[in-house]
Amino acid sequence: MQIFRRAAMALAFSTMLGVAADATAQQRIKFELWQGLTGDLGERVNDVCKRFNESQAEFEIACISQGSYDEAVQNSIAAFRAKKHPTIVQVFDAGTADLMLSGAFYPAKQLMADFGHQVDWSRYFPGISNYYATSKGELYSFPFNSSTAIFYWNKDAFAKVGRTAGPKTWEEVEGISRELKKAGYACPFAFEHDTWQMMEQFSAIHGQPIATRGNGYEGLDAELVFNKTRFVDYVKFLKKGLDEGIFAIKEKVSGATISEAFSSGDCQMTMMSVAGHGTVSKTAKAGMNWDVAMLPLFDGTKRTNSLVGGASLWALSGKSKDEYRGAAAFFAFIAKPESEEFFSTVTGYIPVTIPGFNFMKAKGFYEKAPYKGREVALESLTASEVTPNSRGIRLGGFIQIRKETRDALQAIFSDKMTVEAGLNQAVERGNAILRRFERTYAGKQLP
């Protein structure tokens, strides 16, 4: 009987502990972050949220994928109107102007100050923070998953044609592509219709404007001009290589993605986000030797810094004080060097702060085989002082403008339109989007 009594007491005690644990969990302040990443990268954001939840017992964040960046923005807008929106939303670079003028957010600087977090805002890399900052340099959101485009090349294939270094110019890319084709490689260089890589990065590093008024930073009356810059020559260059068969387009709709095409060894050169570095490291065929470099320039061009890609985190207005306390704690957590190291390690995204980068560099992060080369992205982002053409893009409706431009590029590369006609159409339709946006916010000024 005594044994049974002891067993009953033990069961009762464990039950009490379980109830206490449940009560503690229920007492946690819960809030949501809606993200636009899916697949492996989406899971890694979930890991960040899990690490935050495990680091303390006061708050619990739920990170919920919305399927894509576009859907994260659109779903948050719809939920905001219904007062069912998340506390934090991940907004990609193209949605920055729209969020800034919406007024539906709690400015990052004010949020952190209101809840007692001391933040040295100068610790963020200017090439990253400038994209999301106001004209006065104030951040309304927290830079999070940040990247830039870099050039990937197969060292084994290059060795077959007597090459030992990645190309620095597009003229070199063309020459190497012909050599690789002659050596029997079916796909020397692959690209996709992505305007972030093709138009925005090209324009930035070549010092070319995408729009007037400092790419939109100076006013809502900006107009697109990329149909009158060196970007036209670049599209003609890519079209020529495509027609010759030394360049190829690789997208999921037509087979493998550029990442898959490169990591499989089918294509020997490509350009994509540094965020893909981790994916290539995991998926490259056995024994494949590869490396990365900054995006090539046209010969004789002075390089300026590339543009940051990815997204920042916005705290939306209309939530409780407790939820904002949780959001501020989360923002402080992800800004820690240890958090930046973790996220960079499992993804390929770069650290957004100078202390974070120095912390990782001091530990030899960039000397380790799986991560070696990722520092190239930061070299690209800091290649020059920021200029009006390399600060970023602050255009309203830029999500739709990107689509119009992508549609035009698809028409050009499939021989449905000439280069000039396609880019003129994209600019004409894009400017119509800008004028609608200007009318919507008539009388307002960009911060």
**378-417 residue pLDDT tens:** 999 999 999 999 999 999 999 999 999 999 999 999 999 9
Total domain count, the chain:
2
- pTM to 2 decimal places: 0.88
Q: Are residues 159 and 298 in the same domain?
A: yes
Q: Quick one: tokens of 418?
A: 């000439």
Question: CA 390 to CA 303: how far, in whole Å?
Answer: 10
197-210: b or e for each residue (b if 16 or more CB lie within 10 Å)?
A: bbbbbbbbbbbbbb
Q: What is the extent of the structural domain holding 96? A: 2-146+309-367
Q: Are residues 293 and 317 in the same domain?
A: no
Q: Are residues 155 and 142 in the same domain?
A: no
Q: Quick one: tokens of 377?
A: 């992205």
**63-113 residue pLDDT tens:** 999 999 989 988 998 999 999 999 999 998 888 988 898 889 999 999 999
Q: Are residues 403 and 330 in the same domain?
A: no
Question: CA 31 to CA 321: how far, in whole Å?
Answer: 11
Question: CA 154 to CA 148: how far, in whole Å?
Answer: 20
Question: CA 290 to CA 272: how far, in whole Å?
Answer: 14
The SS3 call for residue 313 is: strand
Q: Are residues 162 and 275 in the same domain?
A: yes
Q: Are residues 183 and 320 in the same domain?
A: no
**319-374 residue pLDDT tens:** 999 999 999 999 999 999 999 999 999 888 999 999 999 999 999 999 998 899 99
Amino acid 253: pLDDT: 55
Question: CA 182 to CA 390: how far, in whole Å?
Answer: 37
First to last CA, the chain: 76
**279-300 residue pLDDT tens:** 898 899 999 999 999 999 999 9
Question: CA 11 to CA 401: how far, in whole Å?
Answer: 64
Q: Is residue 377 part of a domain?
A: no
pLDDT level of residue 206 (50, 70, 90 thresholds): very high
Amino acid 380: pLDDT: 96
> Does 156 score more than 90 pLDDT?
yes
Q: Are residues 283 and 164 in the same domain?
A: yes
**239-292 residue pLDDT tens:** 999 999 999 999 875 456 889 999 999 999 999 999 889 889 889 999 999 999
